Structure 1
Amino acid sequence: MVLPNVMSGLGARHGLYTLSLISLGAGWLSTWQSNWVAAQLREDGYDIEIIQISTSGDVLDGPIGAIGSQGVFTKEIQRSLMANEIDFAVHSLKDLPTDDVEGLCLSCVPLRETIGDVLVSSAECSLHDLPPNACIGTGSMRRAAQILSQRPDITVRDIRGNVETRLRKLDEGQYDAIVLAEAGLKRLELFDRISHVIPTEIMIPAVGQGALGIECRRGDAHVRSVLDVLCDDRSFIAVTAERTMLRALRAGCLAPVAAWGRFENNALVLTAVVLSADGTERCDVEQRCELLIEERDSQLSQAAGLGRSVAAELIGLGAEEMIAQARGA
């Protein structure tokens, strides 16, 4: 595991900004995320103070869906933002709820990492090569439903904890394999733990997977301008389509909903699926739109329109009923 050197590249001082670290006990991935953002801004000459904030999602045990609701990893951080205790916060974007929080905004999305999911197993095999009745660990209903859609004979069991905890549970033999985001293992340089990259034809990623989201106070124009240097427009536009679709479905980040927004030449393409909890039913939609105006705000608006259009088509195919049934499963 390699973390960025956050003590170098200080340059001229532009002012002090605080950056929240969104885990209890500094898990590898959340540490990497916060340190990476801090390092980028320090290279531009800003002083950054990293503050650890523990969340209910970090300290409570059991399946995420049973802890309460979406946002278990973000609410405490957002309260700190609104209380002016920090200036901005780094989130794993797939964990950030899509509902607006008054006074806050998603200000920046840096260049997105790889979007896919990977199988981690001591056997170094693919999903289809796992033996019958193998036990796979995942805390995601989206992953579980897509696994069962391909391999109904597989036993899917809940797993909690950060990356290092999940890998330890696998190594202890509690599971035959686990599914993790490829982006996290790549950022931590744990390439040797990847047994198989699951193709997107088999498993579409979570909304926002592979992307970081930097949140700040909507009215803080100076901080927003500082953060803008980290923003990758195409990544921001693609995840806007995904997040708008999820919000229009009123599904939340815990539902069996997957989406992948990407650019193909000048067209924005959004592929989405909603599944039943057991993977036996699914609604698949793919739409695209041409982004002819280069100005970012206009493209973000078009991306949001694409997300709403995809959601409407999914609803017409019965997605709302599947989501409701999955929540009661």
Structure 2
Amino acid sequence: MQTKPYKIGTRGGALALIQAEDVRKKLMLAHDLPESAFEIVILSTKADRMTNQPLSEIGGKGLFTLELEEKLIDGSLDFAVHCVKDMATKLPEGLYLSAYLEREDPRDVLIGGAANTISELPENALIGTSSLRRQALIRRIRPDLRVTLFRGLVGTRLQKLADGEVDATLLALAGLKRLKIEDKATEILEIDTFLPAPGQGAICIESKIGNSHIDELIAPLNDPTTETCILCERAFLRALDGSCRTPIAGHAQLIDQKIHFSGKILNDDGSLVYETQVTGNANDADTIGKDAGETLRAQAGDDFFKDWT
């Protein structure tokens, strides 16, 4: 019997805390446990502290999770709550993604200051984003637009927009919904024209391999449909060696036990793109994603990837 509270690791931003609290509430309900059975432990990560540089220059996605994973490994945390799209394709030895909560809306949104939609933005408008994928996709639609680095928590980005530092920004609709500020979106970008990042909209739990007690605790939170789709998307990302240095988009849907996957890779300005669409059995989700990534890698050729390091 557990005598000490379970320790839930999270980053300290408003969105991360909402996600961790949601996990705690779901576990309380699933196991009829009091709030005191769980302690939310906040850790600052390098990605949170170094917001004036692109992630591609300071180490990539792993910087969102490093400090949390160190505490998982040494036993200071029982499990950690993350956005799936922040997770590196290769996790530290001994850790794994043990559950996926039901996915929220995976679409991106434009939040406009100078105009409400991409098509209405003035010529040469300045867009703030930290995502190479979003940069490439929006410039593919509007090659005249300029893009500037725009990192920080959601509130920080919205304040920069309000201060007129940029004409518009791009964010994930899922995060806005969790923060209950989805009314800030001036245009919701449909998946078929603005393909999301692999894992976008999904929350995962990371824990130690082989801890059966924690596995049993977390198991009721896992959503099988989300898990299947994420397995496909992360296999696609892994086949392309994806990181924050790479404009990669990929999204899987599960319909009647069939995986419908769309993936694409772009150069930085979106002028060159390779894309694929695949349908297959849900049981083959990992293989479908892997094969899709390898297909695009073969189509693009080695020269396309020479700057992806």
TM-score, normalised to structure 1, is 0.89
Shift of 1:192: 1.7
> Who is 2:286 aligned against?
304
User: Identity of aligned pairs, percent?
Assistant: 33
Question: Post-superposition shift, 1:69?
Answer: 2.8
Match of residue 233 from structure 1: 224
Bigger mean CA deviation after superposition, 41-50 or 211-220: 41-50
Matched residues, number: 304
Q: Structure 2 residue aligned with 1:56, among 46, 51, 72? A: 46
Root-mean-square deviation (Å): 1.7
The match for 1:113 among 104, 111, 118 is: 104
Is the Cα contact below 8 Å between 1:126 and 1:198 reproduced in 2? no
> 1:295-324 CA deviation, whole Å, 9 max, x = no partner?
xxxx3xx11111111012111211654343
Preserved contact between residue 234 and residue 289 of structure 2 (Cα < 8 Å):
yes
- Secondary structure at 2:290 match in 1: helix
Query: Which secondary structure does the structure 2 equivalent of 1:130 belong to?
Result: coil
The structure 1 residue matched to 2:25, chosen from 39, 55, 74, is: 39
2: CA distance between counterparts of 1:319 and 1:184?
A: 35
CA deviations 1:269-305 (Å, max 9, x no partner) are 11000001111100010111123xxxxxxx3xx1111
Structure 2 residue 63 is matched with structure 1 residue 72: yes
- Relative to 1, partners in 2 of residues 1:190 and 1:320: Cα closer, same or farther, differing over 3 Å? farther
Structure 2 Cα separation of the partners of residues 265 and 40 of structure 1? 27
Could you tell me whether the CA contact under 8 Å between 2:55 and 2:244 is conserved in 1?
no
Instruction: Provide the C-alpha distance between the structure 2 equivalents of 1:87 and 1:322, rounded to a whole number of angstroms.
Output: 41
- Alpha-carbon shift at residue 226 of structure 1 (Å): 0.9
* 66-75 vs 230-239, greater mean Cα deviation: 66-75
- For residue 216 of structure 1, give the secondary structure of its aligned residue in structure 2: strand
Q: Secondary structure at the match of 2:98?
A: strand
8 Å CA contact 2:89–2:242 kept in 1: the answer is: no
Which whole-Å CA distance do the structure 1 matches of 2:306 and 2:213 have between them? Answer: 42
Residue number in structure 2 paired with 1:21:
10
1:14 Cα deviation (Å)?
Answer: 8.0
Contact 1:109/1:214 (<8 A) preserved: yes
1:7 matched residue in structure 2: none
8 Å Cα contact 1:121/1:195 also seen in 2? yes
Structure 1 CA distance, aligned partners of 2:242 and 2:7?
A: 32
